[in-house]
Chain A
Amino acid sequence: MDLRDFKILICDDSMFARKNLSMFLASLGIGNIYEAADGEESVAKYQEFKPDLVFMDIVMPKLTGIDALRQIIESDPAAKVVMASSVGTQNHLKQAIMLGAYDFVQKPVDKEQVKKIIEHLAGQK
């Protein structure tokens, strides 16, 4: 799949974290990047844009990333949600896996790791 057609949703309450990741994704040639600043907005934007990949923070206002993941997977079991969080502890990791997260990236986000995840996914489409 051409990365220009790829749609990625970044969910993070930190404007810095969103900008940091979106600039990197743009540099990879990702054509469609959407942003959400809390859990509720993440679920709504997922339904609206049906992205190929989601990066989801965990500690967020309104709805946590774990709850947003649950709602997204309930509505679309094939959703590809990568948790990108500072709190990569075993409980959070286990919860995310059980709910169907695709991968888990510890903050500060390792850009090479993000690139690998996207390349892997793009290769499958």
Chain B
Amino acid sequence: MFAQFFGAFLLNKQLVTPEALARAIDEKKNTRMRLGVLAINAGLMTAEQVEHVNVAQQTVDKRFGDLCVEFGYLTQDNVDTLLSESPSDYLLLGQTLVNDNSLTNAQFEDAIKEYKELYQLTDDDISGYQNDKLLGLVKEFYHFNTAENARIYTDYITLLFKNIIRFIGDDFTPQQSTVVKSAEADYVVQQSIVGKYKADVCICAGKSEYVSIAERFSSDVFENSPEFIDAAVGEFLNVINGLFVVNESNESGTELTLEPQVISVNKEIPLESEGFCIPVTFSFGEVVFIVSVH
């Protein structure tokens, strides 16, 4: 999971021009991945080794993968594995930029390394105990809805918990989830993710827990006013949902967007479709997250 779209990272680093990036986003649908970029991405080969094989290929009539094995850069198993996995969309973007000479293999190698170091939220962030609870929750999604929805639930919930750790803290325990048709609490912050599919997400909390979430998320800029607290919890949800849509775009090229958040006080909000209700117990109290994919 990533905290930024790879193309935006390349742009920020001024490794590609805006024009080249916009062109590559359009053209990547016609791009075929090459083993060299896959091997660099997997950290199995350096750009220098890829260049070496490229040069060698100009004089010998052999496949790239066979030469990599011959030179001892990859094993046959590596080659088979790399070629059998369907590439993430951001890799196709990288390959497109390498193909049109916007990026060299060496620049791609440095960029992908730095990108992953900076923005990949690893599974190590989640403690063993939390991870067991999380896996338990995720398993339940497979008894509900379609396989594709189960995949979306799993990815969303995993990203949600990573970001709770990142922005609120790791002093929580997720509880047994239930299936609900509405959201009800003192405060309900709701936002819809729309596009190829729709997902409604709610944060439901009592007054003091609502303030605690705002306080932790905003840390040193916190201001104890109702308007600020609503805006902070709303932004917390917006940031998580934003990272989710960025990951969908980055990994599979699925384009989604967000609708503005709606905050309700002391109301029961009906959901368009059944959703998973996941109560999470923090040291300051319980906050309920509801996710409904349809």
Contact = CB atoms under 8 A, between A and B. Distances in A.
Given A60-B260, A92-B257, A113-B12, A87 B246 contact: yes
A113 B242 CA distance: 18
Nearest to A59: B258
B182 interface: no
Interface in A80-96: 85-94
Given A93-B8, A106-B246, 15 more contacts: A14-B235, A19-B221, A86-B245, A86-B258, A87-B245, A87-B246, A88-B8, A90-B7, A93-B21, A93-B25, A97-B19, A97-B22, A98-B22, A103-B11, A107-B242
A91 to B, nearest CB: 5
B-side interface mostly = helix
Interface of A: 13-17, 19-20, 23, 59-61, 85-94, 97-98, 101, 103-108, 113
24 contacts: A14-B238, A15-B227, A16-B218, A16-B234, A16-B235, A19-B228, A20-B221, A61-B260, A86-B239, A86-B241, A86-B242, A86-B245, A88-B242, A89-B5, A89-B245, A89-B256, A90-B89, A92-B257, A93-B25, A94-B25, A97-B19, A98-B22, A104-B12, A106-B4
B216 to A, nearest CB: 13
A106 B2 CA distance: 11
Nearest to B232: A16
Contacts of B7: 90, 93
Contacts of A23: 221
B51 interface: no
A108 to B, nearest CB: 5
A51 B66 CA distance: 58
Contacts of A13: 260
A101 B22 CA distance: 12
B249 interface: yes
Query: Interface of chain A, helix or strand or loop or mixed?
Result: mixed
Nearest to A117: B12
Contacts of A107: 235, 238-239, 242
Interface in B29-87: none
Nearest to A95: B22
A20 B239 CA distance: 14
Contacts of B22: 94, 97-98
A90 B12 contact: no
A23 B69 CA distance: 55
A91 B255 contact: yes
Contacts of A17: 231, 235
Contacts of A87: 242, 245-246, 257-258
B231 A94 contact: no
Contact of B260 (A16, A59, A94, A108): A59
